[in-house]
Structure 1
Amino acid sequence: MNRQPLRLAIMEATRILERAGVASPRFDAEVIAAHVLGVERGRLPMVPLVDPPVIEAIGQLVQQRAKRIPLQYLTGWAALGDITVAVGAGVFVPRPETELLLEWGVKFLQGREFPVVVDLCTGSGALALAVAHARPDAVVYAVDIDPQALAWARHNADVHADAGNTPIRLYSGDIGDPTMFAELDGLVDLVLCNPPYVPEGTPVPPEVAEHDPPRAVFAEESGLAVIRHAIAAGARLLRPGGGLAIEHDDTHGSAVPALVRARRVLTGVEDHADLTGRARFVTARRLG
């Protein structure tokens, strides 16, 4: 059996993915190769030659990725912060942009002992689990309205709890319900939310249009409907001095901060850009 250079296989995979319109062809080719080999992507240079079955397995996954099946569906996982979560059909795949929201939230909690955190629209549970991993002393609540998303979140929460990480408290609920988490009113240190926010009718890549659950991506009222509920919930749940962070569409750089400022109990409203310089999430503190 003649071994073949892994480098050439990755180059060919990159070409195929580039022709298919994949946004990050080299990265995706390397992740697929690392997945097949069972090594970290950074260790690929240490695997110069591979057997033909490995080349074949990489090629099969590359062909699926070229059909714009999400990379995370092919590997079965997505990363956020220092954790990974299982993802697949029926749940929104965490995006790299949310790393910045997570970083802000973890930094905000510095100096607060045993903080109470609420993750609205938790989806796969990634954001809640990443906070719990970063702050094992935190009490983290997470909620979603979608049964399929909650099934993934429960699976991920169980896996992380079995691994010895701090458990999260997972609930089914509508963040527009003013009685949701009523027992936590005025007691929460940090409210995070990555809601559906893409305006209805917006063209999106095939990975999103054909695979992400529409209700986890699109929202009515030009993408602001669920964000309005998140702001109201944050204003109600936060303790004085508590923090709020909500991700939004890059067209919402003015609209969402304005909605937050309209809540008189919220102050220090600031909008933050993602790594490409696009408006991406808003933060605020509760007066007190």
Structure 2
Amino acid sequence: MSRQPLRLAIIEAVSVLEEAGVPSPRVDAELLAAHLLGIERTRLGLVPLVDPAMVDAYRAMVAQRAKRIPLQYITGTSPMGEIDLAVGPGVFVPRPETELVLGWALAFLEGYGRHNPVVLDLCTGSGALALAIAHARPDAVVHAVELEPKALAWARSNAQTRAREGDTPIVLHQGDVTDRTLLTALEGTVDVVVANPPYIPEGAVLEPEVADHDPHSALFGGPDGLSVIRPMVSNIARWLRIGGAAAVEHDDTNGAQVAELFAQRRVFGDVTEHPDLAGRPRFVVARRVPTDIEAHRARSVRSTTAE
């Protein structure tokens, strides 16, 4: 059989995905084609003709996407920063919005100035934030916490892959980020905490890709979306060293509430709400500041040293 125009196959795929209600049919059709061909999406125009076997394989992938199976489950990967992570059933698919938390963390560490900073990623899922930070900051000591065994297995596999690629290994922990006894050895030692916890309010209507495939435990945070974040803030307070900071992603209905959870605690200052690229509230940042007792103790130490 003769080779066939790739452009026509993509046009057909867009039509199938549109009919299935996929939110971004053209983008997904092109990403699937690029994945199958092993090229960048921007280079599809350089491939005018493809073999019939490729078209058949492409149609099979498009049919999967038309069933609202997540694009990342079909391709097997999801990007975060400069790395790609393996994802599939049993683990939350990293979202582009979380790239903003990554960008904040790297910028904070750059200005922070501490060598070998300690970073803690809570609800790590696939290991996305932890591994992206470890890749960008090879001097960092990165810890990551995940509760669910299936997600932890994905994180462990991704960590092994990144280590083989030469990245600094991360330290994985299985645990509940709301547990007051979790990681007591890290108390007062962490420079940056990042978290993309379950934060969707129960009962929210979600796209099939999310509702039918992302793990329920990675999505929902109780009736108000704060059942994990609320106790997690207390843990963040004990993990952060003075001067360190945290960024917590949240539902776009909860920006003010999450900011208030930090502001209510005297150990946090510089509490700031950050929007996503669409202008919706997306994550809150807070810095660990000294309490009156800690400030007094520090002044006493400086005074004694001066004498």
Could you tell me the TM-score, scaled by structure 1's length? 0.98
- 8 Å contact 1:102–1:127 — kept in the other structure? yes
Deviation at 1:224, TM superposition (A): 0.2
Deviation at 1:234, TM superposition (A): 1.3
Number of the residue aligned with 1:46: 46
1:17-96 alignment runs, 5 A limit: 17-96=17-96
> CA deviation digits over 1:236-264, x for unaligned, max 9?
11111101000000000211111111111
Number of the residue aligned with 1:179: 181
CA distance in 2, matches of 1:200, 1:235: 27
Tell me which moved more, 10-19 or 199-208: 10-19
CA distance in 2, matches of 1:124, 1:94: 8
Deviation at 1:221, TM superposition (A): 4.0
CA distance in 1, matches of 2:228, 2:106: 23
Number of the residue aligned with 1:151: 153
* Aligned residue pair count: 288
CA distance in 1, matches of 2:11, 2:270: 48
> CA deviation digits over 1:176-216, x for unaligned, max 9?
11121111111111000000000011111101111111000
1:70-149 alignment runs, 5 A limit: 70-110=70-110, 111-149=113-151
* Runs of 5+ consecutive residues of structure 2 not aligned to the other structure: 291-307
Are 1:7 and 2:14 matched, yes or no?
no
Q: Which amino acid counterpart does residue 98 of structure 1 have in structure 2? A: T
> CA deviation digits over 1:40-66, x for unaligned, max 9?
222212111111111111111111101
- 8 Å contact 1:193–1:230 — kept in the other structure? no
Q: Which amino acid counterpart does residue 260 of structure 1 have in structure 2? A: F
**Helix, strand or coil at the partner of 2:224:** helix
CA distance in 2, matches of 1:127, 1:262: 27
Tell me which moved more, 36-45 or 135-144: 36-45
* Runs of 5+ consecutive residues of structure 1 not aligned to the other structure: none
CA distance in 2, matches of 1:71, 1:182: 39
Number of the residue aligned with 1:258: 260
Q: Which amino acid counterpart does residue 12 of structure 2 have in structure 1? A: E
CA distance in 2, matches of 1:29, 1:159: 28
Number of the residue aligned with 2:300: none
User: Percent same amino acid at aligned positions?
Assistant: 60
CA distance in 2, matches of 1:50, 1:112: 52
**Helix, strand or coil at the partner of 2:181:** coil
CA distance in 2, matches of 1:258, 1:236: 18
1:165-204 alignment runs, 5 A limit: 165-204=167-206
CA distance in 2, matches of 1:6, 1:180: 53
Output the aligned Cα RMSD. Answer: 1.0
Q: Which amino acid counterpart does residue 63 of structure 2 have in structure 1? A: Q
> CA deviation digits over 1:93-132, x for unaligned, max 9?
0001100010001100003311100000001101100000
CA distance in 2, matches of 1:4, 1:56: 11
Q: Which amino acid counterpart does residue 248 of structure 1 have in structure 2? A: H
Number of the residue aligned with 1:285: 287
Could you tell me the TM-score, scaled by structure 2's length? 0.92
CA distance in 2, matches of 1:185, 1:59: 53
Runs of 4+ in 1 over 2 A off after TM superposition: none
Q: Which amino acid counterpart does residue 31 of structure 1 have in structure 2? A: L
Q: Which amino acid counterpart does residue 28 of structure 2 have in structure 1? A: D
Q: Which amino acid counterpart does residue 116 of structure 2 have in structure 1? A: F
CA distance in 1, matches of 2:243, 2:109: 11
